[in-house]
Amino acid sequence: MQEMIAQFKTDEKHLENIVHWHTIEPREASSVPFPERMDETIRKALQKRGISGLYTHQATAFRAAVQGKSLVAVTPTASGKTFCYNLPVLQSILENEKTRALYIFPTKALSYDQKSELHEMIEDMEADINSYTYDGDTPSNIRQKIRKAGHIVITNPDMLHSGILPHHTKWVSLFENLKYVIIDELHIYRGVFGSHTANVIRRLRRICKFYGSDPVFICTSATIANPKQLAEELTEQDMLLVDDNGAPSGKKHFVFYNPPVVNKPLNIRRSAVLEARTLAMEFLRNKIQTIVFARSRVRVEILLTYLQELVSKQLGPKSIRGYRGGYLPKQRREIEKGLREGSIYGVVSTNALELGVDIGQLQVCIMTGYPGSIASAWQQAGRAGRRHDEALIIMVGSSSALDQYMIQNPEYFFSRSPETARINPDNLVILVDHIKCAAYELPFQKGDTFGRAEIMDVLEFLTEERVLHQNGDKWFWMDDAFPAHNISLRSASQENVVIIDQTEAPDNKVIGEMDTFSAMTLLHDEAIYLHQGIQYQVELLDWEEKKAYVREVNVDYYTDANLAVQLSVLEVDKQKNFSSNEAAYGDVSVRAMATIFKKIKFETHDNIGSGPITLPEVELHTNSAMLSLNPEVLAWDDNRMEQGLIGASHALHYMIPLFVMCDPNDIHVYPQVKAAHNEKPTIFIYDSYPGGIGLSEKVYEKVGTILKETRNMVERCQCESGCPSCIGTDTASQGSKKDAILLLGLFAN
Amino acid sequence: MSLKNKLGRMKGHMKLDSQDKNNTGPETKTIVNEKIPFIEKWQENDTTVYWFDNQYCFIREVRYPINYRHGKYSFKELIDVVGFWNKSPLDHPLSAKGLGAQDLFFFDTETTGLGGGAGNTIFLLGYAFLEKEAIVLRQHVLPQPGNEIPLYQSFLKNINYDTLVTYNGKAFDWPQLKTRHTLIREHVPRLPEFGHFDLYHASRRLWKNRLAKVKLSAVEEEILGLKRESDIPGYLAPMIFFDFVERKDPEILLGVMKHNEIDILSLITLYIHLSRQILQVDGYGEETLEIARWLNYLGKTDEALETYRRLLTHGTNGERITARHAIAYQMKKNKQYGLALDIWLEVAESGTIKQKQEALLEASKLLEHHYKDYRKALMLSSKLLEELEGLSSSSATLVQNLYKRCERLKRKLKASN
């Protein structure tokens, strides 16, 4: 491996593309002896594995947890984070057989993985401790046993939400004795999903209180800017931050790789996908285990197709696999196993493999583009690196503004603290959903709060809607529905589109599902949908029934859809005025409609056709930050103003995820030359989720910094008059870049 | 923006199913110890008010004379079948041995939703039992969500029986009762332990081939000779109850109560009928074959064999073959190989597709292992293999094993020549 790295470093064909080479020196372990309180059984089991002490962070977590203090441990990949919760939990069960613990993992894949690890530990301890996963796949004949006798129940938030809490009366022994709640991969609980989960935890704690328990929360998180704050917002408990990482790590090389410019005036670089493909091939041919991360499902499939074509003859067709959400659990298990055992050399993944799924440690990690957040980049990088071997991490920049900013400012990446994760548990839509679920579970009483939320108005509202019934000073569920079934924790629009393959009709098969909002642009009629490297064309999207019928095809293009937006301001909640501009924050109504799609050829990325999309408009009420300019400051005509605003918006959209932890899809940036509510040139930055999840609010708070950095980014861009890396190519005129810089400057004043 | 305003605005995103919910009825807030609305109408319908802890529920009670006929049987035949069980040596899940007819507790609930879940409220607990010369039917009715303490208090202090008789109560009614009880367990007596006869399972065993869906109403109509007039379908019960909570008029709820009453009475008739079938009081009948299978499943080999034999004389052609096929297995177990082989060779000619396949396989096994007639065994196995390979639904392991068997037989045949 060392040779390979040296060779890569000196290879001429890479030399001019390597922008930055950052070496992370190996770290020695920092260990302490087993804590005194630790049971002999656990010590012996650990010693059997050759472990004679704990890393500092594990010991800190152990001591705090057994004393009943909630904590959040921040740990890099492969630092033995599971001990942070497994050891105190096992200790407490050994001390009191009645103790129960609930493990919550964000995905089923993770819970499966953790169960095997926990089982091995329990086996080594030769202790009589039952741990079970309880999720949608759990056979009904063992469910009862789990409810009564499971010391450790491993589940996911969705199952907790719809399968456990609404049935709490069947889980009396769990809730009466619940001592620990484990929340692994805390950083995943942000945005909509986090806001939902925070409410699920409110429900959980309400039920615990009913049965007389008050569990300790142990969270583990990847590095983000605000782990303690996020854990406290999610659980509404005081948290101890444990970040004294004592785990060792091998030497790592972190390379920033920028594909060469192929179009000078437009500053267009060679596609990151193609570049990543070439790099991955080099390693795979040498049988070096490599993981390639791509940002979207589509890119995963494209890369997979490329690589399988090129290398499969040499290594065998099953040696390179794709991995992403939408694959069936069985396929995933098989891939994870293959990676651990080494029968699979390469895997192309979305961020699904960022999480702690155990695939062993690989040797090389290639990121196709900046993964969207610093936290995410470090998570992905952590996939490469064996304890006693060197590892190579390559980040290949795409043409996008954010990527170019990162690639060209490596000191920014390596010095900056990662992003802030935001949730908004009091988002009304989400809150009301969970108050319904909570009322189904236990009646509410006058004066009750729901976590920190005041809810009397909501209870009265739901009573008026005939969902609740008020009897004296209590509110009871009064509806024939099972509310949790209609509420999905993950997708914005609450209802998923099922993807049905009718290639072998009448033997139709369900191959995956997708949230409705994404479906508008990815599963419209004639869209090319990729699944496991296979191209499907959507023959019919049945919007009413939420079904997409697809058929296998073999074409040389993919599709890309446009979304048109109309926006009006409902109410302004906060406002700051400056000499030439104003910034505001408030409620808006957005109407979005998918309009047309383009067919784009592989390899050349040429536009080779287009077609209309006929789907109904989707209406969204949400929160927005609004940046307006006093019109007298600039005497520009509308056209010039529009071009300038479009350019500035494009740049802002790319930069915001740097400051607020979110996917670019979680926010929208939309300019208006003359906004209806104040008649001023305005840029709207709004949350994609109904009611907002705190992203645009954070943008409003940090508006000065965001504008300043965005302006710097555009200014430093090497293009002449705007390129996809800064203000985009939607602007037509020559002066747009200068205008955008000017506007960003004026907004920041 | 005020919270109320926001709630109004966000309503579209909330999936509130507000069908007819917006034409608001009268205010529904309850004042403790208030005058009970429509009390006269309740009283006219055999209902009294039960107070506990400043809250109330309704209890309706009606009595049916023991000679009252509901469907095929009159209630007094309940006493007869309990007597039969006590005299019969058969140990069976539905056996009332050791019990008197007065120990049975026929039970059914109505709820505000489908499926189990903490929020699915039971608003009617209905039951019937034998008392002296009458069947007493009682229904405890929840006046509104939240009045559950008097509901369960009145119910629990009234029941003192040995065995529940329900229709799907093992999976639904009883767990749901436990769930709702858990929510108020500090305020009401503990739930007693019960025996439980779930007639749904028994009915499925006997009639799943005859009825498209083994619902109680289907069993009533097809088996028990009962036809309901203007019955309220069960799925409407939640809506009707919510309407009643708003408007308070018992008239609204009476239909659901009647429905529940008939359900419970039918449980008595159904228990009588099932008992008579299982004990074969009336000799051979349409159910005899399923009874025999059930006995066999329960490990009551002798009783099963006896029942199969009865089919040989009384059953239809198909039933006779099925019975012989089953008897052959028993004979094989008793080492009466010759008799078993004869039957299977016959079944292999005239049974159903599945029976033919089983018979071919069994006959082939006997020929191979006990008669060492490899040639004939191979012939039968090959025939079966050919048939199975022609079917797309055959199990892969079965085909594989059979293939192995054929190969082995070929080897043995060669060696013996």
Mean pLDDT of the region A491-502: 70
On average, the pLDDT of chain B sits at 89
Q: Which residues of B touch A212 (CB under 8 A)?
A: none
Rounded to 5 degrees, what are φ and ψ at B269?
Answer: -60, -40
Residues of B in contact with A430 (CB under 8 A): none
CB contact under 8 A, A466 and B114: no
The rounded distance, in Å, linking the Cα atoms of A688 and A670 is 12
| Chain B residues near residue A480 by CB distance under 8 angstroms | 112-114, 238-239, 242
pLDDT tens across B139-184, in order? 999 999 999 999 999 999 888 788 999 999 999 999 999 999 999 9
Q: List the single best residue of B15, B21, B56 to mutate versus A (max A Cβ within 10 A).
A: B15
DSSP class of residue A137 equals T
Dihedral over Cα of A444, A448, A451, A452: its sign: positive
Alpha-carbon gap: B190 to the closest alpha carbon of chain A (Å): 15
B332 contacts B340 by C-beta, under 8 angstroms: yes
Q: Which residue of B has its CA nearest to A573?
A: B1
Interchain contact, B10 vs A461, CB within 8 Å: no
Q: pLDDT tens digits, residue range A679-693?
A: 899 999 998 777 888
How does residue A109 score in pLDDT terms, banded at 50, 70 and 90?
A: low
Apex CA A418: angle with CA A417 and CA A424, to 5°? 125
* Largest Cα span, chain A: 81
Q: Among the CATH numbers 3.40.50.300, 3.40.640.10, 2.40.50.140, 1.25.40.10, which is that of B316-416?
A: 1.25.40.10
B chain contacts of residue A167, beta-carbon cutoff 8 Å: 116-118, 179
CB contact (8 A) between residue A587 and residue B6: yes
Give A 168-227 residues with CB within 8 A of chain B.
168-170, 172
Query: What one-character-per-residue DSSP string does A434-495 give?
Result: HHHHHHHHS-EETT-EETTEE-HHHHHHHHHTTSEEEETTEEEE--SS-GGGG--SS-TTS-
Structural domain boundaries of chain A? 2-25+249-415, 31-242, 428-486, 496-555, 566-590+622-748
Gap from A392 CA to chain B (nearest CA, Å): 47
Chain B segment 325-384 residues within 8 A of A by beta carbon are none
> Considering the domain A2-25+249-415, what is its CATH architecture?
3-Layer(aba) Sandwich (3.40)
Cβ-defined contact of A429 to B17 (cutoff 8 Å): no
Which of A457, A479, A486 is the closest to B4 by Cβ? A457
A618 part of contact set with chain B, CB < 8 Å: no
Q: Residue A587: which of B1, B15, B24 has the nearest Cβ? A: B1
pLDDT digits (tens, 9 = 90+) for B92-105: 999 999 999 999 99
Sorted by sequence, the CB contacts under 8 Å of residue B319 that are 6+ apart come out as B288, B289, B311
B117 and A440 in contact by Cβ < 8 A?
Answer: yes
Q: Cα–Cα distance between A174 and A207 in angstroms, integer?
A: 11
Fold entry, domain A31-242: Rossmann fold (3.40.50)
What DSSP designation does A98 have? Answer: T
Residue A729 has pLDDT above 70, yes or no: no
Which of A428, A465, A479 is nearest residue B6 as measured by Cβ atoms? A428
**A738 vs B393: CA distance, rounded Å:** 71
The fold for domain B37-278 equals: Nucleotidyltransferase; domain 5 (3.30.420)
| pLDDT at res. A358 | 65
Q: Which residue has the higher pLDDT, B382 or A389?
A: B382
B113 to chain A, any CB pair closer than 8 A? The answer is yes
Give tens-digit pLDDT for A297-324: 777 888 888 888 877 777 777 788 888 7
Distance CA A291, CA A271 (A): 19
* Pairwise CB contact (< 8 Å): B144 & A469: yes
* Residues in chain A within 8 Å Cβ distance of B12: 619, 621
Q: Which of B29, B117, B183 is the closest to A167 by Cβ?
A: B117
Helix axes B374-390, B396-416, angle to 10 degrees: 150
Q: Supply A87's token pair.
A: 């050891």
B149 touches chain A (CB under 8 A): no
Q: Quick check: A480 contacting B, CB < 8 Å?
A: yes
A640 by Cβ neighbours in 10 Å (0-12 / 13-18 / 19+) ranks as middle
Specify the range with the lowest mean pLDDT, choosing from A86-90, A351-355, A465-469, B409-413: A351-355
Give the model's confidence band at A327: pLDDT under 50 very low, under 70 low, under 90 confident, else very high. Answer: low
Residue A398 — very low, low, confident or very high, per pLDDT cuts 50/70/90? confident
Is the ipTM beyond the 0.90 threshold?
no
pLDDT in tens, A360-387: 678 899 999 888 778 888 888 888 877 6
| pTM listed for this prediction | 0.81
- Asked, colleague to colleague, whether A2-25+249-415 and A31-242 share their fold, the answer is yes
pLDDT in tens, A713-723: 888 877 777 77
* Residues in Cβ contact with B316 at an 8 Å cutoff, skipping those fewer than 6 apart: none
Residue ranges of domains in chain B: 37-278, 316-416
Q: Do B13 and A442 touch (CB under 8 A)?
A: no
